[in-house]
């Protein structure tokens, strides 16, 4: 027999039954006997019962399937914001913590979020307001606005008092919220933004006094307190890296499009993959506007090493990269992630001793100019999903699958 209301590819979860098994349409459009408790996720049959299923199996949003049932049964507020459930009877969707839905009152459908529920024709519950931003989301949105304001005013030397006046919040509340979300203080973030502005000014050939003044400082003493931690080298060396520096580069076709590798006398300073050689070369000139860029066969050995990486060989090349102290710490940590494995942004933050700075870690990954050598593609979200990637998520997916396959082949000796 068919379970009432079941259609191919859709398996509702029924709290009204306590034992036995029923027939229902499966995602393969064929009848299959499954336990009483089962759920629908993204139109696919996902068994959630404790019997005849792996209790550790995970859904596409990274939560073990049995936990969906337990969360709704227990009205567990810790899952609010991670998924919503829709009541099939009246097509209303709620938070897991909503007390309106009673056990045994009907079937539910699981959605990854409010947008997906609304797209499927469900309306938000007027009591629990599942489409309203959670307290955590409100904090994140507020901090994002603060970050935007700091980035737009990097030379203003913003203090907590300035942020307090701008956003109408207590400065200690701002400090606590910012550190909770970003893992670093507003003062540290302000300094990182000012260093990035200083780097741009020096790269554009600005004399050091003028470049420092444009960051909001009246004296160079701030910079010379510990110049290597701010720029990765002394200011004069950094400026020379942009003006008159000799950078050789070469392009080649690879599995993911076109590849460009550029190096100084000290090591690789840039690596990128794109859809055309012209775009890659333009990007290199934009990054080093005052350098002497030369297409040269001297880079052939380096670029062949990168091409061999796509054939399964390990990639280890000398680098000549510049970043802030925080960025350099993140990039060093990324190079310790084993080939064929991944780490979450949270785990990388823990690796550098700043477990709450996972958002700042993501920013450091985005600022990486030598992907593959500094393998930022091996960093994924906490739920296992890929997250962003400057070279494109399709390339990130390819790289992760390639490395996993090659590593598995090596382990089996095939």
- Between 204 and 104, name the one with better pLDDT: 204
Distances in whole angstroms, Cα of residue 303 to Cα of each of 14, 283, 377: 58, 18, 19
| DSSP letters for 1-61 | -PPTT-BTTB--EESS--S-EEEEE-TTSSEEEEES-EEEETTEEEE-SSTTS-TT-B-TT
Token digits for 193? 């933004």
> pLDDT tier at 103 (50, 70, 90 boundaries)?
low
DSSP assignment letter at 272: E
Instruction: Provide the CA 228 distance to its chain's centre, in angstroms.
Output: 28
pLDDT of the residue at 243: 59
Please tell me whether residue 258 adopts helix, strand or coil conformation: strand
Lowest mean pLDDT among 75-84, 136-145, 195-204: 195-204
Per cent of the chain over pLDDT 90 is: 27
Element (H, E) at 187: helix 186-203
Domain 325-412 coded CATH 1.10.10.10: yes
pLDDT of the residue at 25: 30
Is 269 an annotated catalytic residue? no
Q: What is the pLDDT of residues 268-292, one digit of tens each?
A: 999 999 999 999 999 998 888 778 8
Q: What pTM, to 2 d.p., does this model score?
A: 0.55
Q: Parallel, antiparallel, or unpaired: how do β-strands 257-263 and 246-254 relate?
A: antiparallel
- Between 24 and 156, name the one with better pLDDT: 156
pLDDT of the residue at 28: 32
> What are the extents of the domains in the chain?
13-124, 135-239, 244-304, 325-412
In the CATH scheme, what is the homologous superfamily, with its name and number, of domain 13-124? Answer: DNA Methylphosphotriester Repair Domain (3.40.10.10)
Domain 244-304 coded CATH 3.30.160.70: yes
Distances in whole angstroms, Cα of residue 268 to Cα of each of 250, 275, 315, 338: 12, 21, 12, 21
Kindly state the greatest CA–CA separation across the chain: 82
* CATH classification (class only), 135-239: mainly alpha
Does this chain's domain 244-304 share its CATH topology with 325-412? Answer: no
pLDDT of the residue at 41: 39
pLDDT of the residue at 62: 40
Whole-number Å distance between alpha carbons of 28 and 147: 47
Catalytic annotation, pick one of 94, 128, 147, 365: 94
pLDDT of the residue at 410: 77
Is 125 an annotated catalytic residue? no
pLDDT of the residue at 357: 85
Catalytic annotation, pick one of 125, 128, 193, 376: 376
pLDDT of the residue at 50: 27
């Amino acid at each position: 027999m068919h379970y009432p209301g079941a259609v191919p590819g859709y398996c509702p979860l029924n709290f009204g039954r306590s034992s036995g098994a029923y027939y229902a349409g499966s995602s393969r459009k064929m009848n299959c006997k499954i336990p009483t408790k089962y759920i629908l996720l993204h139109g696919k049959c996902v068994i959630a019962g404790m019997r005849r299923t792996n209790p550790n199996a995970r859904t596409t949003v990274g939560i073990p399937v049995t936990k969906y049932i337990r969360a709704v049964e227990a009205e567990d507020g810790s899952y609010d914001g991670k998924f919503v459930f829709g009541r099939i009877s009246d097509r209303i969707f709620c938070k897991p913590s909503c007390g309106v839905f009673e056990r045994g009152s009907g079937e539910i459908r699981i959605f990854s979020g409010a947008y997906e529920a609304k797209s499927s024709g469900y309306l938000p519950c007027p009591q629990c307001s599942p489409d309203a931003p959670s307290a955590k989301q409100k904090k994140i949105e507020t901090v994002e606005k603060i970050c935007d304001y700091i980035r737009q005013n990097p030379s203003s030397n913003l203090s907590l008092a300035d942020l307090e006046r701008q956003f109408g919040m207590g400065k200690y509340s701002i400090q606590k919220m910012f550190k909770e979300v970003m893992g670093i203080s507003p003062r540290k973030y302000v300094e990182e933004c000012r260093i990035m502005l200083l780097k741009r000014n020096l790269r554009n050939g600005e004399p050091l006094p003028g470049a420092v003044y444009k960051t909001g400082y009246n004296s160079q003493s701030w910079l010379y307190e510990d110049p290597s931690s701010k720029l990765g080298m002394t200011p004069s060396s950094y400026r020379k890296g942009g003006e008159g520096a000799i950078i050789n580069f070469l392009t080649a076709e690879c599995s993911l499009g076109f590849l460009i590798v550029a190096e100084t006398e000290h090591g690789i300073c840039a690596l990128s993959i794109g859809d055309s050689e012209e775009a890659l070369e333009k990007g290199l000139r934009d990054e080093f506007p005052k350098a002497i860029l030369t297409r040269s066969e001297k880079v052939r050995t380096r670029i062949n090493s990168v091409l061999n990486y796509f054939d399964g060989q390990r990639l280890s090349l000398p680098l000549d990269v510049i970043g802030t102290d925080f960025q350099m710490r993140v990039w060093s940590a990324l190079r310790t992630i084993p080939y064929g494995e991944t780490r979450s942004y949270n785990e990388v933050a823990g690796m550098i001793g700043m477990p709450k700075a996972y958002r700042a870690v993501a920013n450091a990954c985005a600022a990486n100019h030598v992907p593959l050598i500094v393998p930022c593609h091996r960093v994924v979200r906490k739920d296992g999903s890929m997250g962003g990637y400057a070279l494109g998520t399709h390339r990130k997916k390819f790289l992760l699958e390639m490395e996993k396959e090659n590593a598995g082949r090596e382990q089996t000796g095939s």
